Structure 1
Amino acid sequence: MGFYWIKTNRFIKFLFKQYHWDIPNNQKEIFLTFDDGPTPAITEWVLDVLKTHNIQATFFCIGKNIHSNPSLFTRIKEEQHAIGNHTFNHTNGWKTTTDLYLNNISICQSILKKNNIKSKLFRPPYGKITRSQASILQKKGYKIIMWDVLSADFDQTISPKKCLENVIKNVKTGSIIVFHDSIKASTNLKYALPKAIEFLKEQQYSFKTIQ
């Protein structure tokens, strides 16, 4: 799967401090986020879990998936979760020209606007975005949301138990935590998410959306 940080390195946060890696607070608030949906069956399952626990989260949606699953996207919106842009088709900024990358984001943003979503939250797929791409987006008013804790649910070489451990051993007040409502992540997600929520509640964390 290549190298990735489970707990984002402090030096990386300092080096790219113009991005949002966590949201410091004194209230034991944390921020659950889900990338790559909406995905039939998987996103519905996630929404059911969140509803059971009365939790709001932030969904970084792919434009083509919104287009293909309008009723599922409507449910995310109606259940008052926050929504962000994750490009139209999961584009890697490091492998795409700035013009094409920004256009891909713009297409997704147009779909969000048609659905009455005014959010300017953006998460780059794979966390890969160039400085010039980021600078232009920030001038347009976007907030670039990264993460403090990566569950790595997408990594099919790790066990569901390891996925859970990635979260509960690294979370802290203010953590932005990433899961994926995707088919590839589903086995790890379905094991880890409910158990992670139960653990975090036991630790007296509260769950907030990113604004």
Structure 2
Amino acid sequence: MKKLVLTFDDGPNPLYTEKLLEVLNAHKVKATFFVVTKDAICNPKLIERMKQDGHEIALHSLEHRHALLSGYIYTKNDFTKSIKLLKMLNCKIRFYRPPWGVRNLYTANFTKKHNLHMVLWDVMVEDWRVKNTPGILASRINRKVFDGAIICLHDGGERHGGDYGAPLHMIKALQMVLPKLKKEGYEFVTVGEYFDNE
């Protein structure tokens, strides 16, 4: 069975994440959500829904600040506060993805200190731009995927640098591609499932 890892960054966002969860549930697809901790704390019901639906929750920083603008103290607090707050939501975090994939001199040290594994991506389709229609996004996903690919999409929208409404295009694109990819023999797994079975 071929595998794909579907991941979502920058959420949760009450405007989009619930709609996304509905689509994933309808297609019986599990994903990993790299959440921004401050948004997660503000939307505990969405986090609970993710867990109930069998999705994995991972860390995407405290407030989506660029690592190159962050020194030692900020980076330390970013990890420490995030882990503490996510534990309050009963989330056991194993994986971390830095915003924009950017790291500073301290990122690797704190990732290791908190027993996290850094995970980047193989496929990105600029789904944060509203000019990219569902058809364009679906075509890019279909063209770029391969067995074992980690796909990075975004449900945060305008909260963290995306265009207003862009996640709605991404969600419609998923409705187009998920049945097709499953028909082609792909199984969707979480980051944890993927690495645990390597």
How large is the RMSD of aligned CA atoms in angstroms?
A: 1.6
User: Compared with structure 1, are the counterparts of its residues 97 and 199 closer, same or farther at alpha carbon in structure 2 (3 Å cutoff)?
Assistant: same
Unaligned runs of 5+ in 1: 1-26
Deviations 1:91-130 (A, max 9, x none): 2112211321231122121111112211221111111112
Higher helix share: 2
State which of 135, 147, 151 in structure 2 corresponds to 1:161: 135
Alignment-mate amino acid for residue 20 of structure 2: V
Deviations 1:51-80 (A, max 9, x none): 101111000111111111111111111111
Which range moved further: 168-177 or 117-126? 117-126
Aligned residue-pair number? 185
The aligned counterpart of 1:200 is 181
Is 1:47 equivalent to 2:10 in the alignment? no
**Aligned-partner SS, 1:141:** coil
Write the distance in 2 (CA, Å) between the matches of 1:101 and 1:66: 19
**Aligned-partner SS, 2:48:** helix
Alignment-mate amino acid for residue 56 of structure 2: A
The aligned counterpart of 1:5 is none
Write the distance in 2 (CA, Å) between the matches of 1:102 and 1:144: 16
After the TM superposition, list the runs of 4 or more consecutive aligned residues in structure 1 that deviate by more than 2 angstroms.
155-162, 182-185
Unaligned runs of 5+ in 2: 158-162, 193-198
Percent identity, aligned pairs only?
Answer: 32
- Contact 2:5/2:149, CA 8 A, preserved across alignment: yes
The aligned counterpart of 1:68 is 42
Deviations 1:1-41 (A, max 9, x none): xxxxxxxxxxxxxxxxxxxxxxxxxx311100011111113
- Contact 2:75/2:106, CA 8 A, preserved across alignment: no
- Contact 2:23/2:171, CA 8 A, preserved across alignment: no
Q: Give the TM-score normalised by the residue count of structure 2.
A: 0.87
